[in-house]
Amino acid sequence: MSHTSPPPSRLPRSFGEAIALLRTRFGWNEFVMLAALFVVAAGLWGFAEIVDEVLEGESHEFDEAIMLALRTAGDTADPIGPPALEIAMRDITALGSFPVLFLIGAIAVGYLVVLRSYASALLVIVSLVGGSALNTVLKQAFARPRPDLVAHLVDVHTLSLPSGHAMLSTVTYLTIGALLARVQPNRLLKIYTVAVAVALALLVGISRVYLGVHWPTDVLSGWCLGAAWAMACWLVARFVGRLRSPSSAAPRA
């Protein structure tokens, strides 16, 4: 009697195949948790690597090349593009300012309190306040001065590393985006909601470099740490929520 051996398993040949394989091995909730853990780990690693490059002086050429590429040749006070682009960048950068982020956070907290979703409201508060405090401490610790290579197109009064606009916009928009995505029944809407949050944070960070008030590595480190902090807060809130839910505490038959 001949025995047919099972076909050998093969490694996924693309990122899409790898995602599909993970989703068949784990449920959707487990897949989301793994993705969030990956963001935390990758964000912390990226932040540490960038800061190490900055402290060793190895990011100087990279920073200068990008900042000069965004200015017209021979005039470091004139950014590339039409005047309308500079105006748009000034408006976009305001989406990462403390007053705007505070207002958005307050509106989100008020909405969640009205819904009596107190745990989610607390998540927003802890994420935003904690992220702001962490950013302030790190700025003072690294004490990196603002760029002096090109003219600043907006006023700034704080230190440079990590970018507060990039980090706190990432924290705010990702935290609120994750909460909105969680209540969406449609998975495509979940992806769209998170994608919009990511796009807003990216645009704010890009505007800071374009306006000459941050080195690119300031913004990159802000994105990395902001994403890690937002997802870490979300994971803790989700874990605590599962512990407190009656279904998780009840014995299974």
Helix (H, G, I), strand (E, B) or coil at 71: strand
152 noted as active-site residue: no
157 noted as active-site residue: no
Q: Which of 3, 60, 152, 165 is catalytic?
A: 165
DSSP-assigned letters across all residues of 20-42: HHHHHHS-HHHHHHHHHHHHHHH
Q: Which of 3, 60, 152, 214 is catalytic?
A: 214
**C-beta of residue 218 within 8 angstroms of C-beta of residue 158:** no
Return the active site residues.
165, 214
